[in-house]
Amino acid sequence: MNSKCCLLCFGNKKINNLPVAEPLVKSFSANGIYFDRVQFCAYDDPEEIARSISECKGVYSHLVLWCPSAMEEALKGYAEKLFSGTFDNFGVLSAGGVKVFIILSDAVCKLDAAEASKIISADCGKAVGRAYVKTVGAPPAAIGGAVSKAKEICADCDFNVSDSYSDVCIEIVYPLTLPKATFDEVVRVLVSRLNDYVYALEDTALERRLFELLKLRRMKISVAESFTGGGLAKRLVSVPGISEVYFEGLNTYSNESKMKRLNVGEMTLKQFGAVSENTASEMAEGLIATGDCDIAVSTTGIAGPDSDMTMKPVGLLYIGVSTRELTSVYKYELKGSRMSVTETAINLALFHVFKTLK
């Protein structure tokens, strides 16, 4: 039997509890265990429960049953009959080369993801390390192409790609016996193919990486937001010690505020509109002109769900980045919900500041 893992999540299918299981999946992955199959099953459908568990027999060497405590005894009874074994006091059944784990979704139990991961790792003889390549704004095709090329170099490596509003993390899970030269080549391929989008080779947050760079450069940053409505400032001030490099954040939502607080020209707003390259540029330059910061970033756009009177498209975004020497403006047309485009805009803005400083 192949060393394959399956996670069956039991809950109220009518309200779709699957997202609730995401922390569990992340806990397993943090310990080097990745599921070949994750399925959500209705807790009140005996036929589906029986079918889902039965389908796993002979296919998976490790089966995790994630369920509310009210289902624990019923699931144990069914699994014990199917696999001809008995659960121990920790909620682990071992029989015929298969291990079944019971983890409760609504109560503390002796078995958790970390303990189950240790057992699975020991069974599989896994001794792995992890490395990371973190990017922002990379096209999906570029990510896919880079990972495919890295897989050609080392088939023994696993590549887990997670995307959080265009902030993409490529986690490399590799056997500790892997030759250093091979590992270095895997990383080199990923970085060289995604070089324009990389901000870290470790598992660190984008705002933390920017803070470290600002501190290294002994520079202060200010932000002026319209599109992101204060979200950019919130991300920055979430970093401990940010006061060393953060001067101010302005949420200049109205045209009057842009003119009064940032000295955006009235003619600029009339001729080009609040959502324009010119306005984004003048917003950032207005902060730099005060002399209180070394780099400034601005955001202006249409977050939705509806467009404004200008009929410019929802998702249109301009990011201005200004230093005392140069101002650059970046244009995007983002897709998705209001929250999605706003969070993506925050990541893109932080990244463009990072790239300017780098």
Residue 90 is part of which domain span?
5-124
CATH of the domain at 115: 3.40.980.10
Same structural domain for residues 65 and 182? no
Q: Beta-carbon neighbour count of residue 24 at 10 Å?
A: 20
The predicted structure's pLDDT at residue 53 = 93
Same structural domain for residues 182 and 169? yes
CATH of the domain at 184: 3.30.70.600
Q: Side by side, which strands form the sheet with 246-251?
A: 246-251, 221-225, 295-301, 316-323, 327-333
CATH of the domain at 257: 3.90.950.20
Same structural domain for residues 110 and 166? no
DSSP type of residue 312: P
Given 67, 92, 124, which residue is the final one in a domain?
124
The predicted structure's pLDDT at residue 14 = 62
Same structural domain for residues 106 and 135? no
ω into residue 179 within 30 of 0, thus cis? no
Question: What is the β-pairing status of strands 62-67 and 5-11?
Answer: parallel
Mean pLDDT across the stretch 216-244? 97
Same structural domain for residues 143 and 282? no
User: Which helix (H) or strand (E) element contains residue 56?
Assistant: helix 46-56
pTM of the model: 0.74
Dihedral sign computed on CA atoms, order 347, 348, 349, 355: positive
Identity at 255, one-letter amino acid code: N
Given 124, 156, 172, which residue is the final one in a domain?
124
The predicted structure's pLDDT at residue 298 = 98
Same structural domain for residues 212 and 353? yes
Q: Which residues, 6 or more positions from 167, have their beta carbon under 8 angstroms from its beta carbon?
A: 134, 135, 136, 206, 347
- Label residue 46 by pLDDT band (50, 70, 90): confident
- The number of distinct structural domains making up the chain is 3
Residues making up the chain, counted from first to last: 358
Same structural domain for residues 337 and 210? yes
Task: Share the mean pLDDT of the chain.
Answer: 92
The predicted structure's pLDDT at residue 184 = 97
Same structural domain for residues 195 and 227? no
- Label residue 263 by pLDDT band (50, 70, 90): very high
Same structural domain for residues 106 and 139? no
Is a pLDDT exceeding 60 seen at residue 17? no
Same structural domain for residues 295 and 169? no
Same structural domain for residues 325 and 307? yes
Report residue 177 as tokens.
Answer: 């016996």
Residue-wise pLDDT for 175-226, tens only, equals 888 999 999 999 999 999 999 999 999 999 999 999 999 999 999 999 999 9
Same structural domain for residues 214 and 281? yes
Mean pLDDT across the stretch 250-275? 96
Residue-wise pLDDT for 289-325, tens only, equals 999 999 999 999 998 877 767 779 999 999 999 999 9
Given 92, 124, 156, which residue is the final one in a domain?
124
301, 300, 298: which is closest to 350 by C-alpha? 298
Residue 354 · residue 206 · CB < 8 Å: yes
The predicted structure's pLDDT at residue 1 = 42
